[in-house]
A = this chain, B = another copy of it.
Amino acid sequence: MKEAWVSQMRKGLVELGVLSVLHNAETYGYHIVQTLALVEGLAITESTIYPVLARLEEDACISVRVAPSPNGPQRRYYRLTQVGRDRLSAMAAQWATVKASVDRLLATPRQPEAIS
C-alpha cells in the first residue's frame, strides 16, 4: 500500500473535490469515483465516496434524486444545495489560504544555523 501520509494529506480535500465535481454537474456516487480516478492524487474508492455523500447530505449540502440505471441498480443523483455552494466557497477560500502558506513555507530559504 501507499504510505499513510498520502491519505492523510488528502483528508478534507476529498470533500472539496466531491463538492467541486457536484458543482460542475449533477451526478451519482459511482460516477464520482470514476471521475476522480482520472484526477491524479485524488483517486478514491467507493468506501470513501459513500460516507462522504452521506455526510454532505446530512449537512444539507447536497440533495438527492433517485433514477433508474440502464446497467444496474438505481442511481442516486446528487446536486449542490445553497448550503453546499456556501460550503464549497468557504472550503475553496480556506484551500487558497493554506495552499499559499504551504507554498511559501516550502519556498523559504534555509536559515543560518542558530548558535547553541
Give residues in A with beta carbon < 8 Å to B.
3, 5-13, 15-17, 20-21, 23-27, 39-42, 67, 90-92, 94-95, 97-106, 108-114, 116
Contact B40 A105 (CB under 8 A): no
Option from B7, B26, B67, B104 in Cβ contact (under 8 Å) with A39: B104
Contact B11 A97 (CB under 8 A): no
Contact A95 B9 (CB under 8 A): yes
Contact B5 A15 (CB under 8 A): yes
Contact B12 A97 (CB under 8 A): no
Separation in Å of the A80 CB from the closest CB of chain B? 10
Copy number in this complex?
2
Given the known A-B contacts A24-B108, A111-B25, are A8 and B9 also in contact in the complex, defined by CB atoms under 8 Å? no
Please give, as numbers and ranges, the residues of chain B lying within 8 Å of A108 by CB-CB distance.
20, 24
Given the known A-B contacts A41-B98, A42-B98, A98-B42, are A110 and B24 also in contact in the complex, defined by CB atoms under 8 Å? yes
Residue in chain B with minimal CB distance to A27: B114
